[in-house]
Every structure is written in C-alpha cells, then in structure tokens.
Amino acid sequence: MFIGKKVIFFVTFMVVLSSCLGPENNPEVVLRDFIQKQFTGKLTRQDVLKRTTGELFEEYSKMTDETFKNLFLQKKLAKKKVKINFKKCSDLRCSITFSISYDVYEDKKIKNMVETKKIASLLKDNKNTWKIEKIVNLKTYFENSPIKIK
C-alpha cells in the first residue's frame, strides 16, 4: 500500500514538473515553433528577437521593416514538412540539421516546390531558455511547376 502511494506521488510529481518546463526548454521544439510561426505569418519583430541571440539577433534587430515583412510575413509560402535529420546537443549548445519542404504560390497556384536543408545553432541563455543563434543553408532544391505553352 505504501509503495503504491509512492509510485502515484512520483508519477504526479513528474507530470507537474514536465508541465512546468515549457517548450523553450527543448531546442527542437523552439526551432519547430519558430519555423511554424514564420510560415503562418504570425511572427512579430518582438517574437523574432525574443527567440534569437548572437549573430541572428543582431541581423534581425538591424533589419528594415520592409525586409522583415518580406522575410517573415509572406503569404505566398505553404509549409509541407519539417524533418529533423540530425541533432547534437550539450547542456548549453545544440546543433540541429533539418529539412523544410514548402510550396511557393503565385496567383493561388503553385509556382515552385522547394526543399531546403539547413543547420541551426541554438544556445541556452542564463534563464535556461534555448534561443536560435545562427541558421545556415546547406542546399536548396527547386522544382518549378510545369510551364504551359499555348
């Protein structure tokens, strides 16, 4: 009876503890959330700066409003898939190789299908929150939609 209560207490404690640890404590979740919000057009400049650090933070904070709008608030892109290919993490740094597949639309029709492979470097700050430090493109594959000749 006493062991059963210990097990129930331990399970309850772990559930409460894991619910207190938000997504900012998982580098993969931070990266996926950043990508998802970028494709939905729901990232504000404040959101971007809150999620980045170092080189990427400097680049985004110096960005003009027009460049920010073109980079983060596009309605022409539709994400299809994000795949984590490789992840190597330590206590303070994480490197994630990932692929993104998306469609580029023009006049409500698919213009291009794109697959790009990237590496993201994330750092844990002094508040124990993962932030994106750098994103590097490795390769990009474009497949144009068929051209109709009249």
pTM for the model? 0.74
Mind listing the pLDDT tens digit for each residue in 99-132? Answer: 998 888 777 777 778 899 999 999 998 888 999 9
pLDDT for residue 146? 65
- For the chain, helix, strand, coil in percent to 5 are 40, 40, 20
Mind listing the pLDDT tens digit for each residue in 30-73? Answer: 999 988 888 787 778 888 899 999 988 999 899 888 888 877 76
- Which two structure tokens, joined as six digits, stand for 109? 């029709």
Least Cα distance to 142 among 94, 102, 109 occurs for 102
Domains for the chain: give ranges and CATH numbers: 24-144 (3.10.450.50)
pLDDT for residue 13? 47
Q: Report yes or no: 102 and 90 within 8 Å, Cβ to Cβ.
A: no
